[in-house]
Structure 1
């Protein structure tokens, strides 16, 4: 993979390997299997046929992550170098543009973000897999009979938020209204988070390296001071990171926040965020004169309390 500019990267070699693999296979397979061949993965799931290990592209992209490789395949489908043969299972065949590329190769530029999923795609995929597992247990059937991985991919891309639209998705037509509504509810939940993220970027940030490391250390029982030392950042930065994780539901800091602030500060800060039309910290600082790290904690505390109140209202 060659870097050609700040905005795009050249994946000519990777594209050639993917297209050639799809062309050489004896029949159409789903993207996950193509990835396993290209990465030389003979472990948990094995190969469908032993002679697939003799393909000239076997393990050619062994250093490319599964996720990144699968995203490249999706991009090749979107740009019509590959095509989907079966809409339920997502099996692949090479398209005319793909054949032409192999005949006359050229640099293939792609934006880096095309090869990595967004936070909401990751979260929705996890939620949909949880729904699929639950439906499979209830029906006593294997996961793929509920819906396939490709169907999950399509649901993540289209985000249908009604049971009718879910059932109109290939691979979901057999679902009952109640089952389809469970899928739609997962989509609705992520859509709400996306709207909130547009305001303050909370969900986007929690996937940063700092946030992931801080979460792991917090769950190990380390104090904010210990986390700050390990990350080589100021304690106020750790408060900000933990507040993000708390607001996104990754950790629960309710009691800890109550211990960090005196009651008057907690009351002033939380009352402001309950009433303010905007949760932005700069405006809160100008009005209240409180430190930003304390304001981070107050805003996080209000968010969690409001979520608990909403859940209680629904339950009652």
Structure 2
């Protein structure tokens, strides 16, 4: 396509893959660059005027216009083209600077994309080739029945491999069932008696002397312990043998006055007699008394005797009968002290009775 400006000047617009290319020439000759730039600016100015007036692009200059009017219009357009040229050169410089910055990165990106496209094409071609080969193999083996061949000869036994490492300790197994009872073993020899052991240790003497040697020396009397709690009532015991005569009981109440008897005969003169004083008390152990041990027990009288010339009788209680001996150690007008010696061990609370008379 071209635009006719004047008879000697022709404007060419050529369509290429890089965009539109405008060339200017006179009767087929290429103009110098400076003239071509001015003519290009003139062409652009005319096209802008055409768009504003809604004129067709081919009617830049009427074909029947005279050469003088065309030259006048060209001069006016030239002045506008000079200004437009300056603006176009500045814009071209800006575009060139931007292209200088963008071109390397754009070129590298395009090169990478081209390589990626090439690899993808190669991959697609390889996949298609593989699919074709697989389809051919499937078709070739379709319907083929494979028959096993005869078994081969037994191969030679290989040498034993090296022993493996010892494995870790396995878990403890469950306890096995109880075994049957074993036969009784033979009877052992009789052991030595304690008496024989005593003799073998270098001692000498009879068996009685050995037993006597087992009894140690009497130790010191232990401290009196605290009184224990009273125990529960025991069962009723069997009736015992008749005991010895008991002590004098307390004096009975005075009976009622009897009738007045007859006057008796005058008796012989009597002597002055002192009044009789009696009392009954008991002593109790407050601590365990070991075999052969002894302790003193103080018995406090319920009355005060006028002197210490009273007589004391000691009677063992149920816990001491046949198990202890009682000896009067001392006495005062208000108490007496009794020594208790154990024939066998005595428990806490064992008691005896003491009565006195003056």
Larger Cα Rg: Structure 1 or Structure 2? Answer: 2
Per the shorter chain, which TM-score range? under 0.3
**TM score, norm. by length of structure 2:** 0.14
Structure with the higher fraction of residues in strand conformation:
2
